[in-house]
Amino acid sequence: MNTSVNNTNTSTQSPHTIPKRLKWRPSMFCAAAVFALSLALVLNIKNPLTLKPNFILNLRRLILIARRQPQTEYISGRPPCVLWMAPFLSPGGYSSEAWSYITALHDHAGDRFKLQIDHHGDLQSIEFWLGLPEESQRLAYDLHGTQCSSKETIVVCHSEPGAWYPPLFETSPCPPDGYEDPVFVVGRTMFETDRLNPEHVARCNRMDAVWVPTEFHVSSFLRSGVDPAKVIKVVQPVDVEFFDPAKHEPLALPLGSPVLGSNSSNLGRHEFVFLSVFKWEHRKGWDVLLKAYLEEFSKADGVALYLLTNAYHSDNDFASEIKVFVEMSKLKEPSDGWAPIYLLDAHIPQSDLPRIYKAADAFVLPSRGEGWGRPIVEAMAMAMPVITTNWSGPTEYLTEENAYPLPVDRMSELKEGPFRGHLRAEPSAEQLKVLMRHVVNNPEEGRRKGRKARSDMIERFSPQIVARIVVDHIMNIVNNSSERTR
Ligand SMILES: *[C@@H]1O[C@H](CO)[C@@H](O)[C@H](O)[C@H]1NC(C)=O
Ligand SMILES: *[C@@H]1O[C@H](CO)[C@@H](O)[C@H](O)[C@H]1NC(C)=O
Ligand SMILES: *[C@@H]1O[C@H](CO)[C@@H](O)[C@H](O)[C@H]1NC(C)=O
Ligand SMILES: *[C@@H]1O[C@H](CO)[C@@H](O)[C@H](O)[C@H]1NC(C)=O
């Protein structure tokens, strides 16, 4: 990573800055440090010997950034400043998307504008932070320390609209002090159903612009009533340098014992490994995946299914959920035994992700709706054949040439929760069986699609390409606003 670009921290005070009254802005980075500190104390008391030196080091740094409050503010407004607020310290889709943007902008935007980041929109997780590559952590310290005057700032609120000012739940608001001060406020969001609810539409329309990742969202947002003049498609980057199959050794499998079925007995023979990566929720279609896989395959097929999943906002016991599901759905165990299912629910650090993709032969995710589908594009960048539902966000990049688009049986209505009445797709379990069997039987075709997938990712979503798109939009805003004030 290029770290020489645009390092605007406290040590380099330009003559264009003058000291101003110190303004305390409660920062979630600070909350994270406090959280980490209390965590450390608890661990320390219980078991002082297991506290890794690395952890202490990280903790010190975290506290350091929390303390680094701006002491000066730019008044000249040159170069302009972009404050990007997102759930940087949480696992999940918005977080990895936000990381991909700020990394791309840091590496490729040159010095067109200053970039500042702050945490917003979700609970922070020290475990997630510690799993980040060190260079990402360093980037976060630097960018969090960038100083901007709020009157010269373009704010990007990258989260679900419920987190925007004034937030509907407890989170640091974005923009931090409402809509008056910033030059321009962008809401970056997406949705996984066919529409937005009226509250979210109203929140989108309060923004100066709404950036969405795909054509699917442009049409669903407009259909729901968001001002067409404000909705702009801005695709998201995938780190094709990091997710590069040439750069990683596969993780050695099996990892532990299967939660269903048994370890392959025919040692030496290569198992065909399916991988799925998702947050454990109904939307991700894990029920469809288990049903199709267990009905289609048995132990004799020499296949395995690895599920990399996390609880996110719940703390489920996935192994028992899987066993209960198998019992409830009355699936019959084949005479030679279940095809094995393995769980990778230990928190795998982000830095090991490519090795997991590399260890698998195909990626499968029969989701009912996706905003973008980070794991899908990561698998595609890793040149894997991908089977995933042909609906919502992924239609932006899925083709017959670069993947196996999974047909939809029908649309289904959400029956409860805040999005009651919205529609999502029901992927076809029967077609999923056909496609999974097909990739096992046609490995050469799968590899060909995988190569095409990687080249499509590089061409359309590499950090350089997407950084240019974002910089163009920002410069457009800067141009317009300077005309306005002149
Ligand atoms: C399956 O293999 C893994 C890795 O070799 C091993 O740790 C585990 O104990 C095995 N499980 C069974 C049930 O044999
Ligand atoms: C995927 O969906 C598009 C419409 O969004 C359709 O044109 C295309 O034929 C579908 N592909 C498959 C394989 O179902
Ligand atoms: C902004 O204005 C500059 C100078 O007038 C021009 O060169 C540039 O192309 C404009 N950029 C955009 C995105 O409109
Ligand atoms: C900037 O101004 C141009 C020309 O008036 C307009 O087309 C464009 O939508 C404006 N962009 C923004 C981000 O306001």
Q: Verify that 253 and 225 share a domain, yes or no.
A: no
Q: Verify that 229 and 366 share a domain, yes or no.
A: no
Can you give the C-alpha Rg of the chain in angstroms?
A: 23
> How far, in Å, from the CA of 255 to the mean position of ligand 1?
8
Ligand nearest to the CA of 185: 4
Confidence grade of residue 470 (pLDDT, cut at 50, 70, 90): very high
Q: Whose CA is nearest to atom 11 of ligand 1?
A: 257
Residue 46 CA to its chain's centroid (Å): 34
Q: Verify that 353 and 382 share a domain, yes or no.
A: yes
> How far, in Å, from the CA of 345 to the mean position of ligand 2?
33
Ligand nearest to the CA of 480: 4
Ligand 2: residue of 215, 216, 388, 390 to mutate (most ligand atoms within 8 A of CB) is 390
Cβ(231) – ligand 4 distance below 6 Å: no
- pLDDT tens-digit profile of 223-237? 999 999 999 999 999
**Token pair of 28 as six digits:** 């979630």
- pLDDT tens-digit profile of 169-193? 999 999 999 999 899 999 999 999 9
- pLDDT tens-digit profile of 306-357? 999 876 555 568 888 999 999 999 899 999 999 999 998 666 777 889 999 9
Considering its fold, how many domains does the chain have in total?
2
- pLDDT tens-digit profile of 380-398? 999 999 999 999 999 999 9
- Measured between its terminal Cα atoms, the distance across the chain in Å is 38
So what's the pLDDT on residue 16?
30
User: Per the domain annotation, does 4 fall within a domain?
Assistant: no
Q: Which atom of ligand 2 is nearest to the CA of 390?
A: 1
**Token pair of 418 as six digits:** 């805040």
Which positions ≥6 away from 212 have C-beta within 8 Å?
188, 189, 190, 218, 221, 231, 232, 233, 234
Q: With H, G, I as helix, E, B as strand and everything else as coil, classify residue 348.
A: coil
Q: Verify that 122 and 271 share a domain, yes or no.
A: no
φ/ψ of 234, rounded to 5, equals -130, 105
Cβ(210) – ligand 4 distance below 6 Å: no
Cβ(259) – ligand 1 distance below 6 Å: no
Residue 127 CA to its chain's centroid (Å): 16
> How far, in Å, from the CA of 390 to the mean position of ligand 2?
6
Q: Verify that 403 and 280 share a domain, yes or no.
A: yes
Interval 369-377 mean pLDDT = 96
Amino acid at 330: K
Q: Verify that 168 and 289 share a domain, yes or no.
A: no
Which positions ≥6 away from 211 have C-beta within 8 Å?
156, 186, 187, 188, 189, 232, 233, 234, 473
Q: Which atom of ligand 2 is nearest to the CA of 400?
A: 13
Q: Verify that 314 and 435 share a domain, yes or no.
A: yes
CATH value at residue 341: 3.40.50.2000
User: Per the domain annotation, does 417 fall within a domain?
Assistant: yes
Cβ(407) – ligand 2 distance below 6 Å: yes
Residue 211 CA to its chain's centroid (Å): 16
User: Per the domain annotation, does 11 fall within a domain?
Assistant: no
Whether the pLDDT of residue 303 is over 80: the answer is yes
Task: Give the residue numbers spanning the domain of 28.
Answer: 17-237+463-485
Cβ(292) – ligand 4 distance below 6 Å: no
So what's the pLDDT on residue 122?
92
Whether the pLDDT of residue 196 is over 60: the answer is yes
So what's the pLDDT on residue 265?
62
Q: Whose CA is nearest to atom 9 of ligand 4?
A: 229
Cβ(234) – ligand 4 distance below 6 Å: no
Cβ(178) – ligand 1 distance below 6 Å: no
φ/ψ of 440, rounded to 5, equals -65, -40
In this predicted model, which residue has the larger pLDDT, 402 or 109? Answer: 402
Q: What is the pTM for the complete model shown? A: 0.83
- pLDDT tens-digit profile of 263-292? 876 555 678 999 999 988 899 999 999 999
Confidence grade of residue 128 (pLDDT, cut at 50, 70, 90): confident
Q: Are 370 and 397 spatial neighbours (Cβ–Cβ below 8 Å)?
A: no
Residue 48 CA to its chain's centroid (Å): 34
Give the separation between CA 386 and CA 376, rounded to whole angstroms: 7
User: Per the domain annotation, does 1 fall within a domain?
Assistant: no
**Token pair of 290 as six digits:** 């288990």
User: Per the domain annotation, does 2 fall within a domain?
Assistant: no
Confidence grade of residue 255 (pLDDT, cut at 50, 70, 90): confident
Q: Verify that 220 and 330 share a domain, yes or no.
A: no
Confidence grade of residue 7 (pLDDT, cut at 50, 70, 90): very low
Q: Verify that 101 and 87 share a domain, yes or no.
A: yes
User: Per the domain annotation, does 6 fall within a domain?
Assistant: no
Which positions ≥6 away from 18 have C-beta within 8 Å?
72, 75
- Name the percent of the chain lying above pLDDT 90: 67
Q: Are 186 and 156 spatial neighbours (Cβ–Cβ below 8 Å)?
A: yes
Integer angstrom CA distances of residue 445 from 229, 381, 388, 400, 404: 43, 17, 16, 12, 11
User: Per the domain annotation, does 365 fall within a domain?
Assistant: yes
φ/ψ of 74, rounded to 5, equals -70, 135
User: Per the domain annotation, does 451 fall within a domain?
Assistant: yes
Whether the pLDDT of residue 195 is over 90: the answer is yes
Q: Verify that 226 and 138 share a domain, yes or no.
A: yes
Q: Verify that 137 and 66 share a domain, yes or no.
A: yes
Which positions ≥6 away from 232 have C-beta within 8 Å?
209, 210, 211, 212, 473
Ligand 3: residue of 471, 479, 481, 483 to mutate (most ligand atoms within 8 A of CB) is 479
The CA-based angle 141-128-87, given to 5 degrees, is: 65
So what's the pLDDT on residue 262?
87
CATH value at residue 23: 3.40.50
Q: Which atom of ligand 3 is nearest to the CA of 478?
A: 1
Q: With H, G, I as helix, E, B as strand and everything else as coil, classify residue 254.
A: coil
In this predicted model, which residue has the larger pLDDT, 91 or 435? Answer: 435
In this predicted model, which residue has the larger pLDDT, 123 or 400? Answer: 400
In this predicted model, which residue has the larger pLDDT, 270 or 155? Answer: 155
Cβ(434) – ligand 2 distance below 6 Å: no
Q: Verify that 128 and 216 share a domain, yes or no.
A: yes
